[in-house]
Structure 1
Amino acid sequence: MKLMRYGEAGREKPAVLDASGKIRDVSSLVSDYDPSTLGDDLVSRLRQVEEQPEVTGTPRIGPVLARVGTIWCIGLNYVDHAKEAGMAVPTEPVVFSKAASTVCGPNDSIPITAAMAKLDWEVELGVVIGRRAFRVTEAQALEHVFGYTVVNDVSERAWQLERGGQWMKGKSHPNFCPLGPWLVTGDEIPDLQSLQLWLDVNAVPKQRGSTSSMIFPVAKLVSYLSQFARLEPGDLICTGTPPGVGAGMKPPQFLRSGDVVTLGIELLGKQKQRVESA
């Protein structure tokens, strides 16, 4: 099932993309998609989707969740990306965080200010927790996942790498986490570890990769994180990015006002953002 949200920012309604590609408003079945509604019964409640009203026109698509919990980020999770960053291939997942206030719709603009000098892109597979997970095994891990989505982990590299401290400060500006367009349940994904990822800037290919190249696959990441913290419904895990980020190019390339970023993941949909001065 493909869950989504539509409408103006802050007033989105829950919807489902049906089998024929129509957006169906399901606000009569669920108040919204948030940590309180991502229970085991949500999908069964939405089975009546064909009976729900069709959304016409081309509405704005909002982030797939009304409220995100903790955003867990995994760094250097593709061998080629670690190499282009000039960093050692990790022997354990590299974990950092991103402010929940970064979340925006998949096609909302990416802001750029005069203080930003090295604005970069990162297409990533996003994992949304649906059941509380604490000290779970890899075999149990995916039972605690509600679904999967597309994330652009937008990063200001100068803030991330040149200002001291943790990576989080370069990751946490508003609209640095476009999320969506869909939250796709696992039954629609035959092989989670063979999904193709891509990202273009101004229609020029930048990133191409596959989740088969992850150093630590999704089940490992969920289990690993749950050894240190209790994962809650609505938590988002950004699982790392393949090679092709701007900071890894020779010479480096960064986003400028007016640039257009398009990205997507096989079976999970695509995003499109314009970089705009803020």
Structure 2
Amino acid sequence: MKLLRVGAKGAEKPAILDADGTYRDLSGVVGDIAGTALTPEGLANIRAADIAMLPKLDGNSRIGPCVGNVGKFICVGLNYADHAAESGMAVPTEPVLFMKATSAIVGPNDDVIIPKNAIKPDWEVELGIIIGKEARYVDEANALDHVAGYCVVNDVSERHFQTERSGQWVKGKSADTFGPIGPWMVTADEITDPQNLSMFLEVDGHRYQNGSTKTMVFGVRHLVHYISQFMSLQPGDIITTGTPPGVGMGIKPEPVWLKPGNVMHLGIEGLGEQRQMTKAYSA
């Protein structure tokens, strides 16, 4: 299933994409694409609905973030060896974890606002894991049982804030609009192998990132297992799993940074595409 949320910001309706690409309103089936709706029981309830009988929604409506009320937005850094190399950093021996503020989350095609005092705004196409079943100290062999589905994430970053302003990376990752997710959550049963998905990102039509999840240092199964050793994972939590090479800071001979008026276009095989315009912050 492809589950999404459609409508104005703060008033999104839960929806499902039918076989013809039509948005069908799930409001009579589930309150939101969030929390308990993402559990195995919640997804079974959605599967049991007669999709063809659900009301149609306007196909031109705004698509919101594919998951509502996200509890934790967990990020994995340097999880592609070639991205670590372009960043001038060693490949980690254990996953590098940091958090992204949930207030950064926006829809897949919403504008990305470059924050005040930004110097080095950058892009990162990433595979997002959406948790559907509580995970606490799970074995790696059973880790995928806790995954509800997957989505596209643009882990927008401000590198000056991230690496030159001291402290943790979170300050360079958490500006409002720095977390586009969607367009939809694709349930795990539709993704045969999350470690074999092609991915890309373009800025103004120029392709900078062209990679595959097969080159992850730590795969989906290991990440869910590993993170659950340090914190419980709850339905609706999102893990974004790192980016392949081609980010702006890695461009030679000079880095390329986002500026107002750029258009980012990105996608992952089987998970859909996003398109955002960058705009300057305005009070």
Instruction: Say whether the fold is shared (TM-score over 0.5).
Output: yes
Q: Structure 1 residue 34: deviation in Å?
A: 1.5
Of the three residues 122, 131, 134, the one matched with 2:133 is 131
Change beyond 3 A, Cα 1:190–1:36: closer
Within 2, Cα distance between the matches of 1:51 and 1:65? 23
Q: CA RMSD in A?
A: 0.9
Tell me what 1:204 maps to.
Answer: 206
User: In 1, are the aligned partners of 2:23 and 2:59 still within 8 Å (CA)?
Assistant: no
Corresponding residue pairs, total: 278
Deviation track 1:164-204 (CA, whole Å, cap 9, x = no partner) reads 00000000111100000010011111211100010000000
Tell me what 2:260 maps to.
Answer: 257
- The question of 1:214 aligning with 2:211 is answered no
Q: Which amino acid aligns with 1:257?
A: P
Q: Structure 1 residue 78: deviation in Å?
A: 0.4
- The question of 1:270 aligning with 2:273 is answered yes
Of the three residues 121, 124, 133, the one matched with 2:123 is 121
Secondary structure class of the residue paired with 1:160: helix
Within 1, Cα distance between the matches of 2:115 and 2:234? 34
Within 1, Cα distance between the matches of 2:91 and 2:216? 11
Within 2, Cα distance between the matches of 1:114 and 1:8? 25
Tell me what 2:103 maps to.
Answer: 101
Task: Kindly report which structure 2 residues correspond to 1:16-31, keeping only aligned pairs within 5 A, or say none.
Answer: 16-31=16-31
User: In 1, are the aligned partners of 2:75 and 2:100 still within 8 Å (CA)?
Assistant: yes
Within 1, Cα distance between the matches of 2:160 and 2:234? 32
Q: Structure 1 residue 113: deviation in Å?
A: 3.6
Q: Structure 1 residue 57: deviation in Å?
A: 3.9
Of the three residues 69, 72, 86, the one matched with 2:71 is 69
Q: Which amino acid aligns with 1:132?
A: E
Of the three residues 161, 177, 182, the one matched with 1:180 is 182
Q: Which amino acid aligns with 1:42?
A: G
Tell me what 2:58 maps to.
Answer: 56
Of the three residues 73, 81, 84, the one matched with 2:83 is 81
Secondary structure class of the residue paired with 2:195: helix
| TM-score (normalised: structure 2) | 0.96
Of the three residues 247, 250, 260, the one matched with 2:249 is 247
Q: Structure 1 residue 273: deviation in Å?
A: 0.2
- The question of 1:39 aligning with 2:34 is answered no
Secondary structure class of the residue paired with 1:194: coil
Secondary structure class of the residue paired with 2:214: helix
Within 2, Cα distance between the matches of 1:148 and 1:67? 16
Q: What is the percentage of aligned positions where both structures have the same residue?
A: 54
Identify which range, 46-55 or 166-175, moves more after superposition: 46-55
Q: Which amino acid aligns with 2:247?
A: V
User: In 1, are the aligned partners of 2:121 and 2:159 still within 8 Å (CA)?
Assistant: yes
Secondary structure class of the residue paired with 2:38: coil
Within 1, Cα distance between the matches of 2:234 and 2:161? 29
Tell me what 2:172 maps to.
Answer: 170
4+ residue segments displaced more than 6 Å: none
Q: Structure 1 residue 277: deviation in Å?
A: 1.3
Q: Structure 1 residue 42: deviation in Å?
A: 2.0
Within 2, Cα distance between the matches of 1:44 and 1:83? 43
| TM-score (normalised: structure 1) | 0.98
- The question of 1:10 aligning with 2:10 is answered yes
Q: Structure 1 residue 54: deviation in Å?
A: 1.4
Tell me what 1:91 maps to.
Answer: 93
Of the three residues 106, 110, 117, the one matched with 2:112 is 110
Secondary structure class of the residue paired with 2:161: helix
Q: Structure 1 residue 95: deviation in Å?
A: 0.7
Within 2, Cα distance between the matches of 1:58 and 1:271? 15
Q: Structure 1 residue 56: deviation in Å?
A: 2.7
Within 1, Cα distance between the matches of 2:81 and 2:173? 21
Within 1, Cα distance between the matches of 2:104 and 2:80? 23
User: In 1, are the aligned partners of 2:115 and 2:175 still within 8 Å (CA)?
Assistant: no
Name structure 1 gaps, 5 residues minimum: none
Within 1, Cα distance between the matches of 2:280 and 2:56? 35
